[in-house]
Amino acid sequence: MHKLFLHQLLGVFFVALFFINCSEDNDNSIPNGQEKEIDFITTLGGSKNESAQAVVNTTDGGYAILGHAQSMDGDVLNKSNESYDYWLLKFDATNQLQWQKTYGGSDDDRGVDLIQTSDNGYAVIGKSKSNDLEVSENAGFDDFWVSKLDSSGTIIWEYSFGFAGSDTPYSIIQTNDDGYLLSGVLDVSASNGQGDRNSILSRHAGGDYWVIKLNASGVKQWSNYYGGSFTDTAYDAIQTEDDGYIIIGSSDSDDVDITNNLGSYDFWILKISATGTLVWEKSFGGSEIDEAHAISQATDGNYLIVGDTRSNDLEISQNNGAADLWIVKITPEGTLLWEKTLGGSSFDVGRSISKTQDNGFLVSGSSRSSDGNLTSNKGQNDAWVVKINSSGNLEWQKTIGGSEVDFFYDAVELNDQTIIAVGDSNSIK
């Protein structure tokens, strides 16, 4: 029997904790996880708005969750104003809250990604409009704001990176040299070409992928931007075995760095060297909107990338209706090995992918469908968790939600094979 253990944070911080019984007679042929049961639901949060954006399993068997909080009451402690702050919560292996902390200034600061670092501390990143309290500077509107924390959540160092416009990060990874790679979007127009491809020939317009390499102390070693004349958004990155990086996201440009746009937005995948030089770039998709959001490495050395597609042509072999979750597998050289869609007749999207102990993958996102690969919908978007095997075949899926919009942004497997997924909810029942 598959069982589901649900732990829900609303207000609107939303966390689901799944327990999958992995006995020898575990039957993955059970269609779409219909035998999973919800044990209980609880809520945490305050009277304003909260959103969980990322979760990591920690070396002690527990987990940490990062998002942002507006509330100053309820479960949100020691917050001085009703602007958004980063909100970080640490749980132990028995799901007990060990500590929580908020970080930011007097303006809008929203955490989007975190990692546990090699010294058992944490690094957190998000966008910030503040230039006071814990945020030492701001160059104008939104900046990348990254902080290194110790194991109890105390800030060791923090830095802001940005220019006059809206510069928005989405990902942080720790690199093999114990430094960090940040990726997101640079407002190239507002920065007047700073960032650092400064020759006139390489200046772009609008927003570009922006990649920043830091050393272990948070000092910038280099940065570069990549894209074309329209909208290019980097959502995730991974370090490759040759110490370079693959950066993934979406692009609707067809010039400058983009050589093969397939129509509207594509999955746009970059390989860059260890110092940020563009090695290759590839576009994947169809004639409609296709956006990549997350990447993970498979055991065979290849890479799985997830996002969503509205296309039904070119490289998309099937579309179940509206938007589908789209999964592609590529080689380290960017060759497409296979692609698969999951979803139903309405809008279904993927936002994260992470590897599981059986060499499969967890994908999180949301769904409005109740057909195809989905068995139910509670109303509008439901938070959605999908388990696939190493070949991309669906093993189980589960939707959770109420009558309003519910969304998962991240999901990971813990040391004991428990699965935790995080996001936000506008539902009240």
pLDDT digits (tens, 9 = 90+) for 195-230: 776 545 556 777 999 999 999 999 999 999 999 999
Give the pLDDT mean for 148-164: 97
pLDDT at 105 (0 to 100): 97
CA distance 177 to 53: 26
Q: How confident is the model at residue 28 (pLDDT cuts 50, 70, 90)?
A: very low
Q: How confident is the model at residue 192 (pLDDT cuts 50, 70, 90)?
A: confident
Of 205 and 314, the one with more pLDDT:
314
pLDDT at 203 (0 to 100): 60
pLDDT at 75 (0 to 100): 87
Report DSSP letters for 63-74, one per residue.
Answer: EEEEEEE--SST
Q: How confident is the model at residue 129 (pLDDT cuts 50, 70, 90)?
A: very high
Per-residue pLDDT tens digits for 84-118 = 999 999 999 998 999 999 999 999 999 999 999 99
pLDDT at 6 (0 to 100): 38
CA distance 250 to 413: 27
Domains of the chain: 13-425 (2.130.10.10)
Per-residue pLDDT tens digits for 319-373 = 999 999 999 999 999 999 999 999 999 999 999 999 999 999 999 999 999 999 9
Phi, psi for residue 202 in degrees, rounded to 5: -100, 5
pLDDT at 58 (0 to 100): 98
pLDDT at 4 (0 to 100): 34
pLDDT at 27 over 60: no
Give the pLDDT mean for 230-242: 97
pLDDT at 206 (0 to 100): 77
For 224-263, letters b (16+ CB in 10 Å) and e give: bbbbbbbbbbbbbbbbbeeebbbbbbbbbbbebbbeebbb
Q: In what order do the strands lie in the sheet with 406-413?
A: 13-19, 418-425, 406-413
CA distance 249 to 191: 21
Give the pLDDT mean for 171-177: 98
Contact 70, 84 (CB under 8 A): yes
Q: How confident is the model at residue 40 (pLDDT cuts 50, 70, 90)?
A: very low
Q: How confident is the model at residue 17 (pLDDT cuts 50, 70, 90)?
A: low
Per-residue pLDDT tens digits for 244-278 = 999 999 999 999 999 999 989 999 999 999 999 99
pLDDT at 218 (0 to 100): 98
Angle at 26 between CA 22 and CA 30, to 5 degrees: 125
CA distance 164 to 166: 7
pLDDT at 45 (0 to 100): 76
Q: Comparing 36-40, 252-256, 312-316, which segment has the lowest mean pLDDT?
A: 36-40
The whole-chain average pLDDT of the chain stands at 89
pLDDT at 37 over 80: no
pLDDT at 108 (0 to 100): 97
pLDDT at 88 (0 to 100): 97
pLDDT at 180 over 80: yes
Instruction: Indicate yes or no: pTM above 0.75.
Output: yes
- In 3-state terms, what secondary structure has residue 351? strand
Give the pLDDT mean for 382-404: 92
Which residues are CB-neighbours of 350 under 8 A, at least 6 positions away? 293, 294, 306, 307, 308, 325, 326, 327, 363, 364, 365, 386
Q: Comparing 188-202, 366-380, 394-408, 413-427, which segment has the lowest mean pLDDT?
A: 188-202
Contact 183, 221 (CB under 8 A): no
Burial class (CB within 10 angstroms; exposed 0-12, middle 13-18, buried 19+) of 153:
buried
Which residues are CB-neighbours of 342 under 8 A, at least 6 positions away? 320, 324, 325, 327, 348, 372, 373, 386, 394, 397
pLDDT at 19 (0 to 100): 55
What is the percent of the chain where pLDDT is above 90? Answer: 76
Torsion angle of the four alpha carbons 234, 156, 58, 293, in this order, in degrees rounded to the nearest 10: -10
pLDDT at 87 (0 to 100): 96
